[in-house]
Structure 1
């Protein structure tokens, strides 16, 4: 195995693209239906890749995928220069916990994305 790229189901793809752009992600690829509706976006920031797909894109194909926004998924993202990164995003997102040093040696903060997913951003010493 070489990597993992979560495919995250969302209700509003454009709002998700806008949100993750604030975190420094860029759209590397996207899929649009013949009718012009965006249904999928691949976004990257450094070596981190997220796939975002609207629920309608899998309608009837994967019945086990059904949930309200958010859920019990936490996306843990490692970065360098966390204080600089925190300062660049804190005014643009909903910060749940500010910068703190953990008992296991990481400096972290957590935020909630526009789909109610929990993201923890961390730098390990």
Structure 2
């Protein structure tokens, strides 16, 4: 295996794109439905790639894909220069936990995205 790029289903794709742009991600691919509505976006920051797809785009096709916003998914993202990235993020979105040194030696901070998913950013010493 070489990488993982989760495809995360969301209710409001445009709001998700706006939020992740604040985190420094850029759109690297997108799909627009015949009706002109954007239904999929691939976003990348460095070597981290997330795919976001609207629930509406799969309505009736995959009944096992359902949930309320948020849930049990936590995305753990390693970064370099975490203090610099924290300062950048802290001015753009609401942070849940400030920079903390963990018992396992990482420096981390966490936030919730607009879909109520928890993102934890970490730098390992």
**TM-score class, shorter:** over 0.9
| CA RMSD across the alignment | 0.6
User: Structure 1 stretches of 5 or more lacking a match?
Assistant: none
TM-score by length of 1: 0.98
Say whether residues 1:104 and 2:98 are aligned partners: no
User: Structure 2 stretches of 5 or more lacking a match?
Assistant: none
Counterpart mapping for 1:1-80 below 5 A: 1-80=1-80
Shift of 1:91: 2.1
Provide the aligned length of Structure 1 versus Structure 2.
Answer: 125
Query: Where do 4+ consecutive residues of structure 1 move more than 6 Å?
Result: none
Deviations 1:67-112 (A, max 9, x none): 0100000000000000000000112112111000000000000000
TM-score by length of 2: 0.98
